[in-house]
Amino acid sequence: MLGEIFKGLVDLVFPPTCHVCDSFSEQSLCADCFSSLPLIDSPLCRRCGKPCHLAVDECRECRGRKCYFSTARSAGFYEGNLKEATHSFKYGNGRKLAPIFARLMVEKMEKDLGIDLVTYVPLSLSKERRRGYNQARLLALEISDLIGKPCIPALIQIKETVDQSKLSPRERRENVRRAFLSAAGVDIRGRFLLLIDDVFTTGATVNECSRALLAGGAKDVHVLTLARSL
């Protein structure tokens, strides 16, 4: 009862708002912003999840490239209000968006992947300290609950990387090369892993993480991200 009164008072002074448009909203995303998220629909490249005119096994982007993950899927495009919401989730106080995002991601997951464990792209210690949380871990924890599989910290970052957003595709691959290692004391041998991240741009980061997971004995790695670039 007291808790409800307190919440009522807090809402009066700081009314809950949408993380994208700042309009009054009980939900972290208002109904308008939620319904206009640029979600991804099939047909897709079966491997990297890029939307194509026809479903293909490999598309122009992933053909000829060494892919360590078996499939990658994303909830939506990294543009418009999903880009804004992702930004708020990552750098602002948008942690409450995690359950909404996680549900959208699980809807886009391929069925029957046989996933045993959920894991996530780690942040370097200095970055996590600065930001206060790892957004990929928040998503992974929610997804772990939704699909009923344990979430484990299967990876560590062993090399400091620079912000990928300003780099060319080749520089991105160089930047993250050998940056991750499967974590000691976490047994992933023979397991099917679901690897979670927020944004898939060229796939360089999740590919390096998948390489590390396979080197740690994982049987198979599937990638699921909130957003991907066009």
Interaction of residue 30 with Zn ion, rule CB under 5 A: yes
Interaction of residue 33 with Zn ion, rule CB under 5 A: yes
Q: Which stretch binds Zn ion (CB under 5 A): 57-65, 91-99, 163-171, 188-196?
A: 57-65
DSSP one-letter string for 100-118: HHHHHHHHTSPS-----EE
37, 40, 44, 62: which one binds Zn ion (CB under 5 A): 62
Asked if residues 11 and 18 have their Cβ atoms less than 8 Å apart, the reply is no
Closest to Zn ion by CB, 56 or 146 = 56
By rule CB under 5 A, what string of x and - marks binding of each residue 3-22 to Zn ion? ---------------x-xx-
The burial class, CB within 10 Å (0-12 / 13-18 / 19+), for 150 is exposed
Q: Largest Cα–Cα distance of the chain, in whole Å?
A: 62
Measuring CA to CA, how many Å separate 2 from each of 9, 180, 203? 11, 48, 49
Q: Which stretch binds Zn ion (CB under 5 A): 49-57, 132-140, 171-179, 199-207?
A: 49-57
Contacting residues toward Zn ion, per CB under 5 A: 18, 20-21, 30, 33, 45, 47-48, 50, 59, 61-62
